[in-house]
Every structure is written in structure tokens, then in C-alpha cells.
Chains A and B, each alone.
Chain A
């Protein structure tokens, strides 16, 4: 019995020594770190501003841009509208695209297939460094007009179509000609009755969405 009591006291002694050691560490530790602390700060605060990414469009007078409808398009007719597209933010952009959401007469949106030969409305986007001579539809820049998006049916524009020049610097802009064309058709109207699957008497609402993405992030050393 005397031996068992001796072992119990020995184990309690070990626990007590560990406890006292921990307390000493807690008490003395901070005073050691406090002795190594040092700090400094700038006298005037550093300013950090974020940039902006804004894309705006405006009608290029005298053109009404997209604000007026296009009526009575016959095969091979085309209508050119003029807008200015501007990266009015402070950050350069990339990945400039145009998507057109189309609703309305299906034959004006998607080309016919198989025995249906109807051809849907086409949209072409062309840019000019100088102002367009709108009355003649001429780009007066010596380099001439640049096709940004080739002629394609409306259905293609359900997905964003990339501009050939897809980078738009901050505050830079594009003078754009947006051409809407009804291609040639093979349609005969007999006794005033429209043929099946016709493009005639159709109507579509087009929502043009131009989009850009910010340039890739920069890591500056200065």
C-alpha cells in the first residue's frame, strides 16, 4: 500500500511541474515578443482608385441609329444605320462582340432548309476611322471601311459575334455602319395569295447588344 501511494504522488508531481512550466511560458513569452516589435507608417495616406468599364452607343446624326424601325424591305433591299460605339470607361477593353436577340417571323431569322428556300435577314457591321459620309454610305478614310462582322443571318447572332478589331482602348470609339439586308428570294405570289414559308409581310424585333470585357489584369512595379 505504501508503494501504490508513492506512485500516485510521483504522477501528480509530473503534472504539477508541467502546469507550472506552462504558466511561466505564458507570463514570460509576451514580454519577450514585445521587446522585438517595431513599426513605421507613411505620413500621407496612399490613394487607390478603381477604373471604370463602360460601353456606350449613340446615333450618328443625321442617322436615327436603331431608334427608328425599318419598313417594307423587299429582296435585295438594304438599310444602313450609323452609330458611334465608345469605350467611355477608363479601362482598356477586349473581346468586343455583338449579339442580336431576334423575335418574330421565323423566316426572317433563320434560313430555310431542305425544300424551303427562304433566306433570312442579314446583318453586316463595318467600321470607319473617319466619319461616315452617310448620304452616300461611304467611308472617307484613306484606308477605307473595315468589315468588323461579315454578313450573317440573324440566327447566327443569337451567339455573340466577335469584331475583327476586338480591342477598344479607354475613351476610344468606333464609327459603325450596321447594314440590314433582305437577301434575294425565289417567291411567286399568285392571285394575291402569299406562298407558304414566305418572307413576305414578316416582322422581327431586334435587340442589339454590344459587349466588351476588361483588359487582362496588370501587375505593376513602380
Chain B
């Protein structure tokens, strides 16, 4: 290919690019020529949380399951615990469960753990008495119990866990609480 032909091709290419650039520039110019109006505002939206935790009576709420070792149950068959609403919304229900294991050897049956709520009062850890109204929740070795007592934000259910075990090696119970969205207050519609 001669030098002249190469130069001719380069000139043609440059011309093509120039035409393309001018065409794009003109089309953008046409689009920008159309007037637009806008109105803008900023808003923040935050979501709620829901959940609860078991703690020993009077203690601050911390996340995680509560594990209690039972000893000398013949003399002291009660454990006083709080079920604290850590949600940012009121609760209308909770699901609680226990898991109990023997700490020593032997094959004695697992003890039964029963739950009672002191509604509108507190449990006296010395006498085991409730200053309000006692609500029995039921008992079980395993599985779950449904609690339907309403609890406000930051509120607490005063619970007494009791065991009927009278013999055998010491044992430990893990207390677990769970909250689903169906157990929080009903949905709301706010107009403001």
C-alpha cells in the first residue's frame, strides 16, 4: 500500500470521527434543550426490633440463653428469673423453652420444670410468694410453652421456675425465649 493511500485513509477516519462527535453533541444538545422541573425532599426511616431474654431476677438484660444449675432442690426447688422485653415494640406473646441435662452419672429421669408468672407484682425469693397474681404457664421437660402475657417495651415478666425433682444427680436447665413478628403488637397505620 502506498504512502498516499495510507494518508488518505487516516484523513477519512478523522473526518468520520469528527462527524460522529458532532452528531452526538447535537443530539445531546437537543435533549438538554427540553426544560425539566424537579422537587426534592429527604426523609429517614427506621425499623423496629423484637425479642426477649431470660435473666436472673433483677439483673440487666444481655443477649444469650440463661443456664441455671440446680442443686439441693429438696430444700430450694425454685429459681426466680425475669423475662425481659428487649424489643422496641410491645409484645403480645413469647415462646419459651427449656432444655435440662443431668450433670452427673446415672440414668434418673429428667426433672420437670414448671413456670409461674407473678402478674402485677414480684416474687419474694426468700418466701417464694408473689405480691401480685400468680399465673401458671405449665410445665415440661422439653418442648415449648406459649406465653400470652402482654409486655410493654422494656417491661419484664417475673417468673418462678420450679422443679419437682427430689432425687438424683444435679442438673442444669437452659432457658430460651423466642419472639416472632406475630407475637409483637398489631400493625399500625399512621396518618401524619
Contacts and interface: CB of A to CB of B under 8 A. Distances in A.
Interface of A: 53-57, 62-83, 85, 87, 89, 91, 93, 105, 108, 121, 134-137, 180, 182, 184-194, 199-214
B24 to A, nearest CB: 21
A211 B50 CA distance: 38
B34 A213 contact: yes
A204 to B, nearest CB: 5
Interface of B: 34-54, 61-65, 86, 88-89, 176-181, 184-185, 187-192
Contact of B88 (A62, A72, A121): A72
Nearest to B179: A189
Contact of B37 (A66, A89, A121): A89
Those 9 A-B pairs whose CB atoms lie nearest each other, nearest first: A189-B51, A76-B187, A55-B37, A192-B63, A66-B41, A69-B44, A192-B53, A66-B43, A214-B35
Given A74-B184, A74-B187, A203 B38 contact: no
Given A74-B181, A80-B189, A189-B179, A53 B50 contact: no
A161 B181 CA distance: 31
Contacts of A63: 191-192
Contacts of B52: 189, 192
11 contacts: A69-B45, A108-B47, A187-B180, A188-B179, A188-B180, A189-B178, A192-B53, A200-B48, A200-B50, A202-B47, A203-B47
A60 B89 CA distance: 29
A68 B65 CA distance: 38
Nearest to A132: B191
A192 B45 contact: no
Contacts of B176: 190-191
B177 A190 contact: yes
A182 B96 CA distance: 27
Contact of B65 (A56, A191, A202): A191
A148 B10 CA distance: 55
Nearest to A76: B187
Contacts of B40: 207-210
Contact of A79 (B177, B181, B192): B192
Contacts of A201: 46-49, 88
A77 B42 CA distance: 20
A212 B37 contact: yes
Contacts of B38: 55, 209-212
A65 B44 contact: no
A188 B176 CA distance: 13
A91 B184 CA distance: 51
The interface centre, meaning the residue of A66, A74, A205 with most chain B CB atoms within 10 A of its CB, is A74
Contacts of B47: 72-74, 105, 108, 182, 199-203
A189 B39 CA distance: 40
Given A68-B43, A77-B48, A213-B36, 14 more contacts: A70-B44, A73-B45, A74-B47, A121-B45, A180-B45, A187-B180, A189-B179, A190-B176, A190-B178, A192-B86, A201-B48, A203-B44, A206-B42, A213-B37
A165 B123 CA distance: 64
A193 B190 contact: no
